[in-house]
Amino acid sequence: MEILTLADSLEILDLSNNQLTSLPKELIQLKNLKIFFASNNHFETVPEVLGQCLNLEMVGFKSNKINHVPERSLPAKLRWLILTDNQISTLPDSLGERPRLQKLALAGNCLTHLPKTLAQSTNLELVRISANQLAECPDQLLGLPKLAWFAFSGNPFSQSDINIRSVPEMPSSSYTLQRVLGQGASGVISKAHWNQHQALFPDDIAVKVFKGEVTSDGYPKDELQACLKVGHHPNLVKSLAQVNEDGYLALIMSLIPPHYTNLGLPPNFKSCTRDTFALGFTLSIEHIEKVITQMEDVFAHLHANQVCHGDLYAHNALFDDEANLIVGDFGAATMYHMLNEEQQAKIKQIEHRALHHFIDDLLSICKEEDRSSKTFIRLKQHITQR
């Protein structure tokens, strides 16, 4: 109850990693509460008191035991809803009656269908529905005017019998992991070395060891298959081999040279779905155009292979001082060859919006002296006319 002494000022309340099963009705006294997270608790129902919080915009219940989302549990100003890794089979119609909704994460549940009312969600930009039980493609999402980042693998409607062997299989005993280079929702990437010289592969390698459980983007095995289906491209991280052992799934890749750095930073609470950049970071229009040209080529290659990246962002790309680009992170990638032609065209259109946001975000960090250049004006007009 002492929390209520902060009723006039508290905006963020994070109760994650506890053993909570309910919330007190007094929570509505937190009249300025905007963000509420309760990941890794024991909730079985999304508390209805949240629906009465007038200024609440972001709600997160990742990795609970939720099987019921009441009609009245969703606040009127809802902008960001995370229900990843629960036991939800149905969602209320009220979800589609939240006009500010931008980000919806539902991966790793038991959903058999989505509310038809989601067709009204005209501000929805990012959706994760991977690893559910959806028997049909949710067409009510495909026509949304702002949807740009969409992940839907691991459902009956997107199931594929393809087992891609575009790279050889290697045993995990063939290499030794060294230092960790990075990690995301689906796995940990480490620098590694071969235990014995490999004539077919470069000496410098990186290994992504996938986490066994469902992630915010879906199943690791779907990520691996999508990555292999895409094949080789000069601006993609190069896959060399895969490891398929009981309880151990990994992808062996070429090691990215150390002079490459992240192009962008992930979205924050304020930007919601859009990339952010380090304070003061700028690029010349020449480098921006070069990066865009490479990303457009990556986009064309992905969709020529009927794969949607699902997470086409600057923060999932690396670049060097000469603006050479490498795109990675296939955690949200989905193969879509099993869909009909109309659905495939809409999936490509959805990701095309993500490409335009990528271009727009890069133009936002263009050096001031280049903003009057013909190239800048041309690129700006190109994305505003679409």
Size (the chain), residues = 386
Q: What is the mean pLDDT of the chain?
A: 94
Averaged over 115-120, what is the pLDDT? 97
H helix or E strand, kind and range, residue 334: strand 334-335
Quick one: pLDDT band at residue 13, thresholds 50, 70, 90?
very high
Instruction: Give, in order, the Cα–Cα distances in Å from 301 to each of 226, 230, 246, 345.
Output: 13, 8, 32, 15
The per-residue pLDDT for 27 is: 95
Among residues 99, 87, 91, the alpha carbon closest in space to that of 73 is found at: 91
Whether 170 and 145 have beta carbons less than 8 Å apart is answered as: no
Averaged over 302-322, what is the pLDDT? 96
Give the separation between CA 181 and CA 175, rounded to whole angstroms. Answer: 16
- Tens of pLDDT, residue by residue over 232-278, are 999 999 999 999 888 899 999 999 999 999 999 999 999 999 999 99
Averaged over 289-311, what is the pLDDT? 97
- Tens of pLDDT, residue by residue over 336-386, are 999 999 999 999 999 999 999 999 999 999 999 999 999 999 999 988 766
Averaged over 314-323, what is the pLDDT? 96
Sequence letter at residue 150: F
Sign of the alpha-carbon dihedral angle for 211, 214, 216, 219 = positive
Residue whose token pair is 């691996």: 224
The per-residue pLDDT for 108 is: 94
What percentage of the chain exceeds 70 in pLDDT?
Answer: 99
Residue whose token pair is 């010289």: 197
List, in order, residues 6 or more apart from 164 with CB less than 8 Å away. 225, 228, 229
Q: Which residues are annotated as a binding site?
A: 208
Whether 131 and 218 have beta carbons less than 8 Å apart is answered as: yes
Quick one: pLDDT band at residue 184, thresholds 50, 70, 90?
confident
The per-residue pLDDT for 386 is: 61
Q: Which residues are annotated as a binding site for ATP?
A: 208
Quick one: pLDDT band at residue 216, thresholds 50, 70, 90?
low
The per-residue pLDDT for 305 is: 94
- Tens of pLDDT, residue by residue over 133-172, are 999 999 999 999 999 999 999 999 998 877 777 788 999 9
Ordered structural domains, the chain, with CATH: 2-147 (3.80.10.10), 172-254 (3.30.200.20), 261-384 (1.10.510.10)
Averaged over 59-81, what is the pLDDT? 97
The per-residue pLDDT for 186 is: 80
Among residues 61, 57, 51, 14, the alpha carbon closest in space to that of 32 is found at: 57
Averaged over 323-348, what is the pLDDT? 94
- Phi/psi for 6 (5° steps) reads -100, 15
Averaged over 110-128, what is the pLDDT? 97
Is pLDDT at 117 greater than 70 in this prediction?
yes
For the record, the structure tokens of 296 come out as 């457009």
Whether 263 and 315 have beta carbons less than 8 Å apart is answered as: yes
